[in-house]
Structure 1
Amino acid sequence: MTPGAPQVEILASPRGEALGQLWRELEAKAAEFSFFQSWTWVGCLADERYPDPVLLRANSGGRLLGLALLNRRRGRLCLAESGEPVLDAPFIEHNAPLLAADAGPEVEAALLRAAWQVPGVGQLVLGGVPPHLPRLAGGIAWRWQERPVPLVALGPVRAAGGDYLAGLSANSRYQIRRSARRYAAFGALRLDRAETLPEALEWLEALATLHGETWRARGRPGAFADDFAWRFHQALVARAQPRGELDLLRVTAGERVVGYLYNFRLRGRVYAYQSGLDHVGAGPHGKPGLTCHAMAVERAIAEGAESYDFLAGPDRYKRSLANAEATLVWAELVPRWSARGLVVRLRGAAGRIVGGRPLRALTPASAERPALREGNTRGAGAADQPIAVIIGGPAPRSSDRA
């Protein structure tokens, strides 16, 4: 049953265990949500990440139907982010309000549209969200970037007999098998999962060391260089491991470490978030990233997972290993009749060129929304509004993924 006419409460400065308990209660009633919508992620170091938090709570007939946690910063309201680059260095994806199983798209729309009623807000920031979400919020997109999300839909692999490599291109199979032969010189390849919290924290540190070496060689600090980012991930591992939501993996060849994978898993989905790979010891034919991820995908198949998600980015290795693709959006919305909104509307009417590409109007989400080849995203409803979009604005932060 789809409840109607949800009422949305705007609660300033939600804090403490009560919020976490409320969030977990709704998780238990949700049909689907990503790891990045779970309280494990959303609530990690929450007092630091959300200095000026706002909670939107949707109810109908006394039932809790949806929650959205945002942070207010300099006139911007950010969904599950702070709006401060240092605090948002832990890169969020598959972001959205958390909804009960019987909450229809009108609940999601009501939550997002209520955000415009928060005092002092002139901009709504939706990072790493499904493409339909900004359309539900209304307003006009001042910034908009779509990014591909390569993934492995594991159902078709099982249906074809479970041979993951057989479904890849001939070149990808060759690269993976040649890499395996290279590592076989050091001993048998082995994939292990950190089974205890102390072991997980030890492996996280080893992963961060290899990750940092890789990115410093490329002239960048990497994802763990900042003090807050490192504390966040230590805390996140401590939250996720006891709940069975952490896949911190190590691949070895004999006594030699090939690499570590920092993955999450929730409700049949595996999210490949970060890695630390030994590129120096790989030699000319060793491919530590391909080797580690291929072994992790095969384990996910054996354990009954639904998908192995490489997360956003057009990296070649992701597309080489994937058999499906979704889309995520980074959008900054402004009110239609604000100064910026009028600028966008005028440019759209004039058909000008912005950022080297033409401005275009988007059709309602129900008509255009990209979908997974395997699975789907949450549907859109009658409240959808076409929005104008500036193409070619600044890209979102780099996730420094190796």
Structure 2
Amino acid sequence: MAGLAVAAGPVRDPAALERLWRGLEAEAGPIPPFRAWTWIGCLAEERYRDPWLVRAEAGGRIVGLALFSRRRGRFCLAESGDAVLDAPFIEHNAPLVAADAGPEVAASLMRAAWGAGARRLVLSGVEEGLAAAAGGVALRRQIRPAPFVALDRVRASGDPLAHLSANARGQLRRSLRRFAEAGEVVLTRAGTEAEALAWLEALIALHQRSWQARGKPGAFADPFMRRFHRELVARALPRGEVDLLRLAAGPDVLGYLYNLRRDGHVCAYQSGFDPAAADPHRKPGLVAHLLAIGRAAGEGMAVYDFLAGEDRYKRSLATGSRDLVWTELVRPRSPLALAAWLRGCLGRRLGRG
């Protein structure tokens, strides 16, 4: 982009940053929920202890923004760098850029973080191209597939079961029949903030019970996680950026889905189901997602995204997958970069051996 100027500096006025971010959102075209201020700005003053903003301008207008939290030499993109505060787990992470901006704008924003004093760059849930464009040497790197359903395929067939394997179709039809014995199987969207927050609490209780029965702490073990999502739901519901969905069969509540949504992109973020409702012939999670996929397709949405993870139910329902990267980069030619290079060489050598 001609005349591109990039500058970085600390955030002094959070309210001004929100106005700036919301203004660029209007020019950014379709973005996933995790790049909207609804997510980025949720409890921002608590999450970003030392926030730094990198901004790109061209032709007298802002064309790109990247928010980092600075923590002991690390610049963390849209995260705090603290494990508890980052428990909400961002995905499809990237700078916010104008729709007419070329890929060099996002790359310039990332590289500017090095010039602002970053010794390490922490990028969570980004596309591989962005991680490569940021420069630096990977000190750690993890690639995770994120399965999704292309909803145009569902609309073309008129049946959310049509693209599934014969085995998956059989499981879902059997589950629907078994649940229907108690009454009509219905997926309902919370219509008010009070209802959405009540359903969120019910989801959390079911989620925690299920995970703790397996000896795991569960996603909502820390109070901050619950507080973050209560605030997020309150912010997102009036903007149509969240769905709290309840699955019921007649009078029986089977469980809940918590989905984020923005510009045709639905993200299946979290869920909670009654363990008593599940058995080899009744799969409430599969049924809930199937009905949510059908609902999203009917609303004209573009993609139903299961987010990162290789869970079997995701693979069963998905039409495709994309890779997301979690990486920590260090400056080239630094001692840590040399150590990472040597470690990589040793790993390759041992692999050949």
TM-score w.r.t. structure 2 length?
Answer: 0.97
Using the alignment, how far apart are the partners of 2:145 and 2:332 within structure 1?
A: 28
Residue type of the partner of 2:266?
V
The equivalent of 1:379 in structure 2 is none
Using the alignment, how far apart are the partners of 2:47 and 2:262 within structure 1?
A: 23
The equivalent of 2:227 in structure 1 is 231
Aligned pair in 2 of structure 1 residues 74, 198: CA closer, same or farther (>3 Å)?
Answer: same
The equivalent of 1:343 in structure 2 is 339
Residue type of the partner of 2:82?
E
Are the aligned partners of 2:161 and 2:169 in contact in 1 as well (CA < 8 Å)?
yes
- 1:23-53 deviations in Å (ceiling 9; x for gaps): 0000000123210000000000000100011
The equivalent of 1:221 in structure 2 is 217
1:244-393 map, 5 Å: 244-348=240-344, 351-353=345-347
Residue type of the partner of 1:52?
D
Higher helix share: 2
Are the aligned partners of 1:66 and 1:99 in contact in 2 as well (CA < 8 Å)?
yes
Q: Could you tell me which of 137, 145, 148 is aligned with 1:148?
A: 145
Q: Could you tell me which of 28, 35, 44 is aligned with 1:37?
A: 35
Using the alignment, how far apart are the partners of 1:88 and 1:18 within structure 2?
A: 23
Are the aligned partners of 2:30 and 2:262 in contact in 1 as well (CA < 8 Å)?
no
Q: Give secondary structure in 2 for the equivalent of 1:271.
A: strand
Q: Give secondary structure in 2 for the equivalent of 1:29.
A: coil
Q: CA deviation at 1:284?
A: 3.8
Q: CA deviation at 1:133?
A: 0.6
Q: Is there any run of 5+ residues in structure 1 with no aligned partner, and where? A: 359-402
Using the alignment, how far apart are the partners of 1:14 and 1:80 within structure 2?
A: 17
Using the alignment, how far apart are the partners of 2:103 and 2:14 within structure 1?
A: 29
Q: Could you tell me which of 82, 91, 94 is aligned with 1:93?
A: 91
Aligned pair in 2 of structure 1 residues 88, 346: CA closer, same or farther (>3 Å)?
Answer: same
- 1:308-340 deviations in Å (ceiling 9; x for gaps): 000000000000000111110001000111101
Using the alignment, how far apart are the partners of 1:331 and 1:53 within structure 2?
A: 20
Q: Give secondary structure in 2 for the equivalent of 1:261.
A: strand
Q: Give secondary structure in 2 for the equivalent of 1:353.
A: helix
Residue type of the partner of 1:272?
A
Using the alignment, how far apart are the partners of 2:188 and 2:71 within structure 1?
A: 42
Using the alignment, how far apart are the partners of 2:3 and 2:107 within structure 1?
A: 11
The worse-fitting range, judged by mean Cα deviation, of 150-159 and 250-259 is 150-159
Are the aligned partners of 1:279 and 1:288 in contact in 2 as well (CA < 8 Å)?
no
Q: Is there any run of 5+ residues in structure 2 with no aligned partner, and where? A: none
Q: Give secondary structure in 2 for the equivalent of 1:341.
A: helix
Q: Give secondary structure in 2 for the equivalent of 1:167.
A: coil
Are the aligned partners of 2:11 and 2:17 in contact in 1 as well (CA < 8 Å)?
no
The equivalent of 1:208 in structure 2 is 204
Aligned pair in 2 of structure 1 residues 355, 203: CA closer, same or farther (>3 Å)?
Answer: farther
TM-score w.r.t. structure 1 length?
Answer: 0.85
Identity, in percent, stands at: 58
Q: Give secondary structure in 1 for the equivalent of 2:281.
A: coil
What is the root-mean-square deviation in Å for CA atoms of aligned residues? 1.5
